[in-house]
Amino acid sequence: MSQNLGHRQVVVFAGDAMLALAPRRGMKRASSWRPYIALPFSVRGFLGSTNEVDADAHVAAEDAVDKNSYDGKPDFDLLILDETDPVSFLAGFDLPPISFSQDASRPIISAIKDPIDEEILSGFLSSLQEACCEVGAGGYLAPLESGKYYHDLTPDQILGVNWGDDEVQVCRSELTKDDLIDIIETVREVAFANLPEPVGKTNFYKLTATQIREINAETVKIRSHLRGIVRMCEVMCLGLRNDLPELRHLKVAADTGAIYLRRKKPLSRHYSQIPTMIFDATLRTELLQHTFEHLEVAYERFAKDGDGVQRFQLRDRDLSYGTLKGAEWPARLWLLACLCARMHGRTGLIVPKFIREQLPEAEQPNVKLGHFGALRGLNVFEEVSAIVVVSRPAAGLVQVEDTAAVLSGQNISAMPVEEKWYPAAKGTIRWRHNPSAGWVTRYVEHPDPVVEEVRAAITEDGLEQALGRGRNVRRSRNRPLVEYVLTTTPTNRPVDGTFSMAELKAATGWVGAFLELGVWFEGGTKGVGGVLHAFARAMGAQRPESLLISLIGNPAFEGPDAAADWCKKQIDDNPEIGALTREIDKALGARAESVEMLCAQYPIFDFAPVEAKVRGSRYFAQIYVRTGEEQTAVEAITALLGPVAGELEIRSASGA
């Protein structure tokens, strides 16, 4: 704030809110500002020839600058935006409602010294209270209607009428829309003119912020109330000009009858009339034109995947926030990140914030976590080898409709009140190797085009922003990236393959948990129940307990017979689990390097066979265990089981 940038060639500031404000004095171009003139340099032509820029021309350019006056020029020649968010120009959505009841307004009105102004504002507030009663709790106010005015009074007299006087006869009015706009603008001017000045302004430099707030407490209350009237009048004029049947800017609170006042802050004129360059991976021109009203697209180009990118997406059942609130999903997603870390290397996992808060970051150093609420400008995922984006942001139906109506200032086609969510639509997940082919999927879509743009800007663009953290456009075959998109929402990104929800659950259930914990029990072998039960107890006794333990079914902890029956039933009853376990058995039996899982290869080269049984039992079960360098399978399983290993007889597998 203390910098003087008046002579700088480039001014950088952060935050969309700055664009709604006039630049402060230190940001504006000084009257003595001069453009930067580059020193003489060489220019290489298209055919490789080199031309020296004439030094005399450089001097002449400097002389021309010295003779030129820059007074009266715009403060900036070019606006460059890195990422945009048209919705950021909306205000009031996160603020409490303002009460304009008689009790709340009486001290405000009584503080106005001019009796005519007091009468004008009192009449306006009385009509506002009537309108709130007619709308009812939770409804939207409508622009003033000419049929509710008194035809035998002039506009000036109307403003002075006591609206609560029963002796005044209500008749249909002959006032036009322009007359009503003039009346409302008069009310606005009166409210604006009566905004009180801060108390003790000349002594602010001597006071603390707390002291300033204390001596201005009453002034702030009055200014807030009158500013509310000013903004309400602006919204009503907008509604009258655009023939809006209701103003979603003005919503009556269901409990208090106060008014939620939402509005769009205008783009400062210092930025609205200058050339603009926008760099944005999720640019929506239609929405931006509601903020940059003079915006004309002169050039547009899109970046594409680098050569080293692969992408796989969920295709059949959406993974919504509601689904993710199931108790098992934090463990499933953590397991998926661990599996990807073994398959691809360092992995990024981006989830909703409530899931992020349940995941252990320190347990797996090869996994980097993030959530949708903190993504813009984040570069911590640019070096990962895989990135998993789970679900996508979403906003409620009414919230999005309100946002679209306030942003556009237009009449929108809202869904019926009884509808609680968006209608379903069919989309296509495009296949990279044949753009005309793909997988048909279902997602949601609002029938109103403006509302749909706002919804998609939150949902699809939020997903795109999350995927963009992996910097896919910069990836080469030497720096590959694998993306997992865990939602059925189509994106602009082509995919190399898809997987079903059943396949995802099979890989992120007990099957994947056993592999990640470093052990596998070959299906169909006798005696496996006792060893499985012993392993489950050993894992459950570890401290801190691994999040993956919750993915192993409770019967595995209850006893050998229950563990054996549970494992057999899981394989027999679930086709995807059965298919995956058979592939793992086959690959381990053949001593393969890897096994396919979720469109990728999970490494199993370090698993070695070993046999074990509960002491006193008859049969040895065939087990595979992950071994370290210079570690035998017997040593590995013994270390894994800890004290429970004493309950088992363990030996090297025959033929190993």
Paired sense of beta strands 50-52 and 600-603, if any: unpaired
pLDDT at position 150 is 46
Continuous segment of H or E residues that includes residue 519: strand 519-521
pLDDT at residue number 173: 59
Q: Residue 9 has which token pair?
A: 């060639």
Output the DSSP codes for 433-501: TEEEEEEEEEEE--SSHHHHHHHHHHTHHHHHHHHHTT-GGG--TTS-EEEEEES----SS-BSEEE-H
pLDDT recorded at residue 15? 79
pLDDT of residue 619: 86
> Tell me, what's the pLDDT at 176?
81
Report long-range pairs for 624-633 (Cβ below 8 Å, ≥24 apart): 624/519, 624/520, 624/522, 624/588, 625/518, 625/519, 625/520, 626/518, 626/519, 632/608, 633/608, 633/609
φ/ψ of 569, rounded to 5, equals -65, -40
Q: Are 343 and 484 in contact (CB under 8 A)?
A: no
Confidence (pLDDT) at 624: 95
- Report yes or no: 500 and 315 within 8 Å, Cβ to Cβ: yes
Burial class (CB in 10 A: 0-12, 13-18, 19+), 392: buried
Mean pLDDT (10-residue bins), the chain, 656 residues: 86 85 86 76 53 56 51 80 87 91 87 89 88 84 65 50 52 74 92 90 85 89 92 93 92 88 91 87 88 84 89 93 92 95 95 91 81 80 95 92 95 91 92 90 93 93 90 92 95 92 96 94 83 90 79 90 90 94 94 95 95 88 92 92 90 74
Pull the structure tokens for residue 525: 């072998």
pLDDT at position 64, please? 53
